[in-house]
Amino acid sequence: MKNFGLVVIGAHTGIWLQDLFDQYKDQNILLIEPVPHNLNELTKNILNYKNITIEPIAISDKNENKKFYFVKAKSVEKLKKHWASGIGSFNKEHILNHKTKRFKVTDNDIENIDIKCLTINDLIKKYSISSIQTLQIDVEGSEFEILNNLDFQKVDIKRIFFESKHFDGTFKEGKKLEFIKEKLTKEGYKIIQVDKENIRAEKD
């Protein structure tokens, strides 16, 4: 069994993770990222780290191949919103629901691939993970499935940082989020609202 300093589900290009990479430079790090153009950048951004492993998959509630939607690389430039490269989902409508006057995303801006999916518990089993210092999840609304399925008896996780704003639909928070908060509290975590979009659950 192995201890991991950092596991990130939805690692994007890794550019915003540099401080964490340095913090856990002497520990195992696992990064999950399904979007091809993000993977290319992520691979370049971890060249100096020998302790990082990348999994080019998605995490779902079943082990299966599944259609995954994301904003095309050329459309990220056209739409002039760098964060658009981070909008990937099993649901194409989730991406289209981000459309605003300043972010005019359309069907033509969206690409899809068939991606291999693992459950969170099978990912943990694959890498023989016994403990994680920090688990970070940013998966555009799939956070609920991951946290709901996670077997806390199989892995000791010190800290979980996750995006909360899409728990009950695009830009919606509701019963699913409250359910996960209660579940984490029962597992011994203190719930901390970091900002309007993110929550940290931490054990003493």
User: Tens digit of pLDDT for each residue in 134-173?
Assistant: 999 999 999 999 999 999 999 999 999 999 999 999 999 9
Average pLDDT over residues 115-133: 98
Average pLDDT over residues 6-21: 97
Residue type, 80: K
DSSP one-letter string for 132-157: EEEEEE--TT-HHHHHHH--TTT-EE
Task: Report phi then psi at 8, rounded to 5.
Answer: -120, 120
Above pLDDT 70, what percent of the chain? 100
Average pLDDT over residues 29-48: 97
User: Could you read off the pLDDT of 19-34 as tens digits, one per residue?
Assistant: 999 999 999 999 999 9
Rounded Cα distance between 63 and 73, Å, is 27
State the pLDDT at residue 126: 97
State the pLDDT at residue 9: 98
Rounded Cα distance between 37 and 2, Å, is 30
User: Could you read off the pLDDT of 174-202 as tens digits, one per residue?
Assistant: 999 999 999 999 999 999 999 999 999 99
Q: Boundaries of CATH 3.40.50.150 in the chain?
A: 2-63+117-202
β-strand partners of 55:
32
Side-chain-facing half-sphere of 109: CA atoms under 13 Å:
22
State the pLDDT at residue 183: 97
Model-level pTM? 0.96
DSSP one-letter string for 93-109: HHHHTT--SS----GGG
Q: How far is CA 15 from CA 45, 46, 189, in A?
A: 7, 9, 28
State the pLDDT at residue 65: 97
Residue 153 CB partners (closer than 8 Å, separation 6+): none
What's the topology of domain 2-63+117-202? Rossmann fold (3.40.50)
